[in-house]
Amino acid sequence: MNLSIRNQLPGAVLEITHGEAMSTVRVTLRGGQEITAAVTRAAVEDLGLAPGQSVTALVKSTEVALATGPLSGVSIRNQLPGTVSAITSGAAMATVEVAITGGELTAAITQAAVADLGLAPGSPVVALVKSTEVSLLAG
Amino acid sequence: MNLSIRNQLPGAVLEITHGEAMSTVRVTLRGGQEITAAVTRAAVEDLGLAPGQSVTALVKSTEVALATGPLSGVSIRNQLPGTVSAITSGAAMATVEVAITGGELTAAITQAAVADLGLAPGSPVVALVKSTEVSLLAG
Amino acid sequence: MNLSIRNQLPGAVLEITHGEAMSTVRVTLRGGQEITAAVTRAAVEDLGLAPGQSVTALVKSTEVALATGPLSGVSIRNQLPGTVSAITSGAAMATVEVAITGGELTAAITQAAVADLGLAPGSPVVALVKSTEVSLLAG
């Protein structure tokens, strides 16, 4: 199966918190980082997710933001440090490849942000992903 | 009213599940497919949404992912099969038009994904949309 | 700290509604507008958010939609009226700068939407942001 979602991070379920409509699922990635996904409770039940289960966290490139350092005091649960490996610039948008521990991430951000942050191959960055933007693939 | 949100899918409310903060709303589209929206409970109450009510599901192009076939075991609730009708490629990003039963969808994905998936007019695809990315317009 | 997230709107927490997994936080922006963020409950607790506290609402450009007028009967909680100040067009995507009361917003939308809505510097628009797309930075 081929999927346009560029970011596919393998890991295992650590903990699940159920609400009535939504659930949050904490996942330990293979690289050792932790990531939280906010998904519908119906999805968690249909997938039969449970602690220990293998899952792949899926994140669209357009949902990844970049900071030039760690960000404290922010509601964004997922922060993955890495290094810029490549940048493709368009007129309005750019895609930035980031090497993280145990994998690679793509961020689609505005070209203006690339310029303002002075991003270039080798730049240290922290990739930021809101929990509501993380989907989970079982197995 | 003109709106930049490219994907506007008419349907009717099937079922609502309320949490304290968030609600999930299942909608049957006119094309017969089902779509789930995760929205704030306050929005559902302010709109007075109820089963049977006409709504239009709104999805920004940047929130639509594409797969070359159905995806099982995934938390993404909304999967709409269709056929690529047109592709506009930029340096970093591309927009892909997909004809689905009862309508048309636009997906804004990376140009790298278009290349990797070998997408072209006529390609069968499944459009994937996370419930948290679906908004509802009453009436 | 430099951050690729283009939209950073300072304000203060007005009200918090807790669910088990998710919380909604209403924020009064300095420009006087109100904005709602749907974030994980764990984030609200970790940040110690409370009414009156200073926060900055963060919204990625790809999460901002534009309408040519106010939109009623919609689940999207956040509507910020403004005026287009600049447009950068790519083949597939465009970025649109919008001056709002008390600040500036960037929307990354499809170039097709810019053309269909006839957007140009000076156009009055309403920026729309789904609550699940709003993050909060304390302080």
A46-94 pLDDT, tens digit each: 999 999 999 999 999 999 999 999 999 999 999 999 999 999 999 999 9
Note whether residue A2 is domain-resident: no
Question: What is the per-residue pLDDT for C26?
Answer: 98
**Secondary structure of residue C123 in the 3-state scheme:** coil
Range of the domain at B34: 7-138
The pLDDT tens digits of the residues spanning C95-118 come to: 999 999 989 999 999 999 999 999
* Rounded Cα–Cα distance for residues A68 and C23 (Å): 28
- Report yes or no on A125 lying in a domain: yes
Quick one: which H or E segment has residue B42? helix B41-47
**Percentage of the residues of chain A whose pLDDT score is greater than 90:** 98
- Give the other-Cβ count within 10 Å of C20's Cβ: 18
CATH number at residue B91: 2.40.50.100
pLDDT higher than 70, residue C138? yes
Distances, alpha carbon C79 to alpha carbons A48, A111, C76, in Å: 37, 25, 8
Q: Both tokens of residue B46? A: 């302010």
Q: What is the nearest CA distance from A7 to chain C, expressed in angstroms?
A: 17
On the question of pLDDT at C1 being above 70, the answer is no
pLDDT at A5 over 80: yes
Q: Which residues contact B90 (CB under 8 A, 6 or more apart)?
A: A90, A91, A92, A93, B111, C90, C91, C92, C93
From chain A, the residues in CB contact with B77 under 8 A are 40, 42-43
Q: Are B134 and B35 in contact (CB under 8 A)?
A: yes
Q: Tell me the nearest-neighbour CA distance from C88 into chain A, angstroms.
A: 6
Average pLDDT, chain B: 97
Average pLDDT over residues C50-70: 97
Q: Does the pLDDT value for residue A1 go beyond 70? A: no
Select from A3, A58, A95 the residue whose CB has the most chain B CBs within 10 Å, as the one to mutate to test that interface: A3
User: Token digits for C119?
Assistant: 């957007």
Chain C contact set for A21 (CB, 8 A): 19, 22
Q: Is residue C1 part of a domain?
A: no
Helices (H) and strands (E) in chain B, counts: 2, 10
Residue A62 lies in a domain: yes
Q: Give the pLDDT of residue B139.
A: 81
Q: Is residue C76 situated within a structural domain?
A: yes
- Residue B92 lies inside a defined structural domain of this protein: yes
Nearest to A38 among C21, C37, C139 (CB): C21
pLDDT tens digits, one per residue of B103-127: 999 999 999 999 999 999 999 999 9
If one counts the domains in chain B, the total is 1
Residue C128 carries which side chain, given as an amino acid letter? L
B74: tokens are 């995934």
Task: Provide mean pLDDT across the span A3-28.
Answer: 97
Residue A86 contacts B where some CB pair is shorter than 8 Å: no
Cα separation, C83 vs A37, whole angstroms: 35
Tens digits of pLDDT across chain B (139 residues): 599 999 999 999 999 999 999 999 999 999 999 999 999 999 999 999 999 999 999 999 999 999 999 999 999 999 999 999 999 999 999 999 999 998 999 999 999 999 999 999 999 999 999 999 999 999 8
Chain B residues closer than 8 Å to C43 by CB: none
- Confirm whether A1 is domain-assigned: no
Mean per-residue pLDDT over chain A, rounded: 97
At residue C38, does pLDDT exceed 80?
yes
C121 vs B38, B73, C61, C124, C125, CA distance in Å?
A: 34, 46, 18, 9, 11
Which of C71, C130, C131, C134 should one mutate to test binding to chain B, selecting the residue with the greatest count of B CBs within 10 A? C130
Torsional class of C97: left (φ above 0), alpha (ψ -120 to 50), beta (otherwise):
beta
By Cβ distance, the residue of C4, C40, C41 closest to A113 is C4
What global pTM score does this model have? 0.96
Is B2 among the domain residues?
no
pLDDT, position A139: 81
Q: Say whether B66 and A4 touch across the interface (CB within 8 A).
A: yes
